[in-house]
Amino acid sequence: MRLFFTILVGLCLVTGCDNQDNSTQLISNENFLIIAHRGASAFAPEHTMIAYEIAHQAEVDYIEIDLQMTKDGVLVAMHDEKVDRTTDGTGLVKEYTLQELKQLNAGKWFNEEYPGLANREFENEQVPTLEEIFLHFGDEVNYYIELKSPRIYEGMEEKLLALLKKYDLIREGQDLPKVIVESFNEDSLTNFHALEPTLPLIQLFSFKEKAALSHSDYKRLQAYASGIGVNLKSVDQDFIHDAQLNGLQVHLYSLKNEIDIKNAFHLDANGVFVDSPILSELILKEES
Ligand code: G3P
Ligand code: CA
């Protein structure tokens, strides 16, 4: 089935199927991408160096990093706008300077919430900056980076681009792009595309019911996005094939268990955000 669909998409690209004129196809369709959601977040506190390190050891295709920004304009890895859930502090990230944010413990909460997975070492974890992550992993991993709350952080796209340039992470023509940027915010992605058109962008959607995109949605997306990231529960195979025939990859989030991972693979998605990369690799080896 997968081979058949890859051939179909390939033929469409050669012969011209409806609406597939997407000049932003910057990710090869050859690979099924395993993206470690917030690092290996099933095993370690999300968005910490140790969570990314476990994902790296599991040889995932990408580590996923959600970005927030401090009061003094530093990009840091965190999912929520507030520090409350994943540190021992309270309040908004944007009200902390980096120095203040670094005083917070980013691992204790995990040990308290998941005593069966608790590890003393997690309690040494701080909130990492994006720059620290780049310095730590360099070229050894690929980065899938989410502009998380761009409407509250002015200049976030420019800051991300400056760091990508500083660490020479913008590469064209590779089988797996070194960096993919994602966001729920369309304005942020179109802004990013205008700044740097060679980086693949993924538009995120969270559909409450059945996923659906119109002809005009596809036209708009084709102008800046290489794909879409969609919540697994909202999609069926027709939706995924339709998006692919419109020149967009489909990456599904967030997969929690074996059933989710098998479903996503058989739906012909192009990639998955998984909390448990080790389990995912095992299942996908069996299924393919
Ligand atoms: O980025 C894909 C997925 O991570 C979106 O959900 O809330 O985990 O960032 P969230
Ligand atoms: Ca995310």
**Tens of pLDDT, residues 174-184:** 789 999 999 99
At a CB cut-off of 8 Å and minimum separation 6, what does 138 contact? 167
pLDDT value of position 260: 87
Q: How many domains does the chain have?
A: 1
- Calculate mean pLDDT across residues 201-206: 98
Which protein residue's CA is at the shortest distance from atom 1 of ligand 1? 146
The model's pTM is: 0.91
In this structure, the number of other CB atoms found within 10 A of the CB of residue 172 comes to 9
How far is residue 138's CA from residue 246's CA, in Å, rounded to a whole number?
Answer: 34
Instruction: Give the residue carrying structure tokens 């502009």.
Output: 147
What's the CATH number where 237 sits? 3.20.20.190
What integer best gives the mean pLDDT of the chain? Answer: 90
Average pLDDT over residues 264-281: 85
- Write phi, then psi, for 144 (nearest 5 degrees): -120, 105
Q: How many CA atoms lie within 13 A of 14 on its CB side?
A: 5
* Whether pLDDT at 277 is above 90: no
Would you say residue 281 has pLDDT above 70?
no
**Residue 24: both structure tokens together:** 């932003």
What is the model's pLDDT at position 6? 47
SS3 at position 55: helix
205 dihedral zone (left: phi>0; alpha: psi -120 to 50; beta):
beta
Kindly list the protein residues that place their beta carbon closer than 5 angstroms to ligand 2, a single-atom ion: 66, 146
Indicate the top mutation candidate among 65, 273, 274, 275 to test ligand 1's pocket, ranked by most ligand atoms within 8 A of CB: 273
Whether the per-residue pLDDT at 3 is higher than 80: the answer is no
pLDDT at res. 263: 85
136 is catalytic: no
Active site residue 241: no
Residue 280 pLDDT? 67
Range of the domain at 154: 2-287
Q: Is the pLDDT of residue 219 over 60?
A: yes
Confidence of residue 12 (pLDDT cuts 50, 70, 90): very low
Query: In the prediction, which pLDDT does 8 show?
Result: 44
* Helices within the chain (DSSP H only): 2-15, 49-57, 98-101, 108-113, 130-137, 156-166, 186-195, 215-222, 237-245, 258-266, 277-287
pLDDT of residue 78: 98
Give the model's pLDDT for residue 22: 61
Average pLDDT, stretch 118-130? 97
From the list 47, 79, 193, 251, the catalytic residue is 79
Instruction: Give the pLDDT band (50/70/90) at residue 261.
Output: confident
The angle, 0 to 180 degrees and rounded to 10, between the axes of the packed helices 237-245 and 2-15 is 30
Do 207 and 213 contact (CB within 8 A), yes or no?
no
Q: Which atom of ligand 1 is nearest to the CA of 182?
A: 1
